[in-house]
A and B are shown apart, each in its own frame.
Chain A
Amino acid sequence: MNPLIFTTILMTVLLGTMIVMMSSHWLMIWIGFEMNLLAIIPILMKKYNPRTMEASTKYFLTQATASMLLMMAIIINLMHSGQWTITKVFNPTASIIMTSALAMKLGLTPFHFWVPEVTQGISLTSGLILLTWQKLAPMSILYQISPSINLNILLTMAVLSILVGGWGGLNQTQLRKIMAYSSIAHMGWMTAVLAYNPTLTMLNMLIYIMMTLTMFMLFIHSSSTTTLSLSHTWNKTPLTTTLILITLLSMGGLPPLSGFMPKWMIIQELTKNNSIILPTLMAIMALLNLYFYMRLTYSTSLTMFPSTNNMKMKWQFETKRITFLPPLIVMSSLLLPLTPMLSILD
């Protein structure tokens, strides 16, 4: 793609999300979402093969439907409250429709079906933008309307997302699909605590973005999109192998690493609000996530994955220079002792 056009389109994606996060008028928010959607389609289609085109079409259809539902909820809100500013949503019907629309945009169950297929069809860098930056805008709207969301629907979607994200990822060997299911599960954790303490949603989003960014950068660095090709990194860059181990365990939420911080805070906040069964169920279902992360680490860092002898040596291409990889890795594994700094997010 022409570099000038590519820069313009990428800046429009950023501008769309900024407009969504900064606006106080519902119509501008809708315009921001549409601008974001329109501009990310050519980024998803950077390579011209039928798979990327199919993935972009699926993404466009689901997100356009979600935008239409959002517009309908905005108009119902206007009908019942007579004003366009974003405070809480004044009508239960509008609130339910808006929650469903934003869940479709995020990829929460039962609207999660597009996430693995779209993530699989596009290149690693586009998948990175899809799974991290695109989650910011809907989550910011959910944060702003959080006092008026119907709790039953929100918690059902959250728990089902954690279940589907864990269960669906179990049979996958393609790395992009694994990251997609991990995204579904993390979105479930984020929305579970939204009604109780939205600050923790933001914390979880921050740490999730850092960890997903790190994982994708490591995959891009070793140019691997399947478990088999990831398991050959011990030969090329053994340091990357160790870092993959640490970051994957952090994503699974294991204690001395920073991935534990949001899960710990969320479980604590839920139990403070007298729900015991829900966080227990969520923690148990997070074990499914941990299982397939550990399977990845087992095949990558801990053992030599079986392959034919001439596949053991990877061809030494020029090493890609990945910006910010060391700080990202440090942040996604060592942030746990900084938990008391949580109060700055308020």
Chain B
Amino acid sequence: MMTYIVFILSVIFVVSFVGFSSKPSPIYGGLVLIVSGGVGCGIIMNFGGSFLGLMVFLIYLGGMLVVFGYTTAMATEQYPEVWVSNTTVMGVFLLGLLMEVMLVLYVLKSEEVGVAFKFSGVGDWAIYDTGDSGVFSEEIMGVAALYSYGAWVVIVTGWSLLVGVLVVLEVTRGD
């Protein structure tokens, strides 16, 4: 099972994305986001990225999602919508589940059948090594490279985040 752990985790990842894309109330969307964040962290860790997985838990789940949860709790309504309370929401959720099940069967059962992509079995999702080449771990080197060779990326993404805050404040300010 450990060779297919990434595949299983990615299926749970997609199912939880379907869970919040079918738009229940934001509280339940946040709940499913926690699950998907944890599972995503598991996927990254299986490729040897322990630092990045920790980042997901700390910053994404422990910072951003907590703030989101508090603001949603302030703005919540008396009877929030669950997946089974509204026919539309349940319908979209079941549709998403059905599509994921069909995709999984397509990946597992058929050898080399191509529609737009050639799925040759489970392929990239099965891990056979950890990706450590030599003495240094690849992933920490990647993070270090972000701040040396990728300084322009850091500047651009930092500026985008600042402008994102300004834009959101400007749009919600009203007159």
Contact = CB atoms under 8 A, between A and B. Distances in A.
Interface of A: 1, 5, 8-9, 12, 15, 19, 28, 31, 34-35, 38-39, 41-42, 45, 48, 76, 79, 93
Going nearest first, the 10 A-B pairs with the smallest beta carbon separation are A42-B170, A12-B163, A35-B160, A48-B175, A93-B116, A42-B167, A38-B167, A39-B163, A42-B171, A5-B166
5 contacts: A5-B166, A8-B163, A39-B163, A48-B174, A76-B117
Given A42-B170, A48-B175, A31 B163 contact: no
Contacts of A38: 160, 163-164, 167
Interface stretch (B11-19, B83-91, B151-159): B151-159
B115 to A, nearest CB: 10
Contacts of A31: 153, 156-157, 160
A41 B156 contact: no
Nearest to A45: B171
Nearest to A44: B171
B45 to A, nearest CB: 22
A12 B159 contact: yes
Contacts of B159: 12, 15, 35
A79 B167 CA distance: 34
A35 B167 contact: no
Given A1-B170, A19-B156, A9 B163 contact: yes
A9 B170 contact: yes
Contacts of A42: 167, 170-171
Contacts of A93: 116
Interface of B: 116-117, 152-153, 156-157, 159-160, 163-164, 166-167, 170-171, 174-175
Contacts of A5: 166, 170
B160 A41 contact: no
B122 to A, nearest CB: 16
B142 to A, nearest CB: 14
A268 to B, nearest CB: 38
B162 to A, nearest CB: 9
B167 A34 contact: no
Given A5-B166, A9-B166, A79-B117, 17 more contacts: A1-B170, A9-B163, A9-B167, A9-B170, A12-B159, A15-B159, A28-B153, A31-B153, A31-B156, A31-B157, A35-B159, A35-B163, A41-B167, A42-B167, A42-B171, A45-B171, A93-B116
Contacts of A1: 170
Contacts of B174: 48
A28 B160 CA distance: 12
B156 A28 contact: yes
A228 to B, nearest CB: 29
Contacts of A15: 159
A80 B117 CA distance: 10
Contacts of A45: 171
Contacts of B152: 28
Contacts of A39: 163, 167
A12 B158 CA distance: 12
Identify the interface centre among A1, A35, A45: most chain B CB within 10 Å of its CB. Answer: A35
A9 B156 CA distance: 14
B166 A35 contact: no
Nearest to B174: A48
Contacts of A19: 156
Nearest to B164: A38
Contacts of B170: 1, 5, 9, 42
A43 B32 CA distance: 34
B163 A41 contact: no
A246 to B, nearest CB: 39
Nearest to A37: B167
A19 B159 CA distance: 12
Contacts of B175: 48
Contacts of B164: 38
